[in-house]
Structure 1
Amino acid sequence: MFHPHSLLLLLVLVLSAVTVVHSSLDPTTGLAANCSDPAYQSCAFYLQCAEARYQCGPNGYPVSYGNRYCTKFEMDQGELSEAGKKWMWNVMKCLEDTLVPTVTAEKQVSCNQLSRRAFDSHPYCYVRSGLCALPLSDLVAILNIIGLSALIHIEMFKVAGSAQPIN
């Protein structure tokens, strides 16, 4: 018997696969043409490009982390100030852009390597996009959006070590 979340995930994966098949495909990789330049303010890259190419499944980075938190931030962006929203969209674009070379490369890496490359880009993208300059209210909102379970994830501690103290 399927768990409701498993059934929903299966539906999302099937729909994203149909979308990829019916979109313009890159003749070299077989991926949607937009995989080499993810759209700003869109979470489609994780399912239509990264998951379509690597098929890491419901526990792999593209589905369980990349798409999950991208869509969560997208849905909860009302909790952020205008500066926080700009930071959010810039981070999303940066995270996707840093995965483009791996996702579109002729030679595939393992799902674990994909995950490592993705997590390794988080501190850079968070700080580069201005995390340390955000007001306290946005930092609190970001913590609320991410939730405790993601903060416990050991990879997230890299972000804290990359930020400069606010004077």
Structure 2
Amino acid sequence: MRLFNALTTFLAVAASAVIASPLANLEATAELAAVVDKRGICDAPTGSCAFYKTCLEDKYKCGEKGYPLNYGYKYCKKFADAKSKFSTKGQTWVTNTMKCLQKKLVSHTSGSTCTKLEKAAFASHSTCYLSNGVCDLSLGDLWDIFWTVGIGGLFGGIANLKEAAQTAAPCLVSKLDYLILV
């Protein structure tokens, strides 16, 4: 009888392992895919707002007042939500700028600090805005940018003011050059 019970127990355990094995493999594969997806968006950003939570906040824990959540994610979401208000050219600018801002932070997805991350992020804003053609956008698109960012985003601190000035100055110069030449 003991032999029968031992054999039955053995067969039950073996059967459950065979049945559970594909499920366990599926769960392990999904877990691995999530890690690969996370590394993928961290190494080659797509413009997804998840970048700020997944690649920056999860790693550095800067908190609700830190750059990843309080600025990066917050404004990424605002632009993603407002994107349909922009012209086609403005929508392209939003998409390309979101990717540019994240690509500038890829080197900070490891071995950095919250302070270094914030400084690098703010230093990249005007570069990304200008390199993606903010000066060539229509007044309607510029207005949409202004309302999306809001007064607090533009004038909410020294870093904000500096970036706003560094973005606006080349645009004003190019518009003045255009008016003088016409």
How does the TM-score come out when normalised to structure 2? Answer: 0.71
SS at match of 2:174: coil
The count of aligned residue pairs is 139
Decide which of 69, 75, 78 is 1:63's aligned counterpart. Answer: 69
Deviation (angstroms), 1:82? 0.5
Decide which of 46, 54, 71 is 1:48's aligned counterpart. Answer: 54
Letter in 2 for 1:137: G
Deviation (angstroms), 1:25? 2.6
Instruction: Name the counterpart of 1:149.
Output: 152
Greater C-alpha radius of gyration:
2
Q: Give me the whole-angstrom Cα distance separating, in 1, the residues matched to 2:170 and 2:116.
A: 22
Instruction: Name the counterpart of 1:92.
Output: 98
Decide which of 76, 82, 88 is 2:88's aligned counterpart. Answer: 82
After TM superposition, the runs of 4+ consecutive aligned structure 1 residues lying more than 6 A away are none
How does the TM-score come out when normalised to structure 1? Answer: 0.77
Q: Which has the higher contact order (CA 8 A, sep 6+)?
A: 1
SS at match of 2:90: helix
Q: Deviations over 1:17-59 (max 9, x none)?
A: xxxx775336xxxx9222101124x211000111111110000
Q: Give me the whole-angstrom Cα distance separating, in 1, the residues matched to 2:125 and 2:92.
A: 16
Decide which of 35, 39, 55 is 1:25's aligned counterpart. Answer: 35
Deviation (angstroms), 1:161? 3.4
Letter in 2 for 1:25: V
Q: Give me the whole-angstrom Cα distance separating, in 2, the residues matched to 1:68 and 1:110.
A: 20
Q: Give me the whole-angstrom Cα distance separating, in 2, the residues matched to 1:22 and 1:52.
A: 17
List gaps (5 residues or longer) in structure 2.
Answer: 1-30
User: Percent identity at matched positions?
Assistant: 36
Instruction: Name the counterpart of 1:72.
Output: 78
Instruction: Name the counterpart of 2:45.
Output: 38
Letter in 1 for 2:168: A
Structure with more helix by fraction: 2
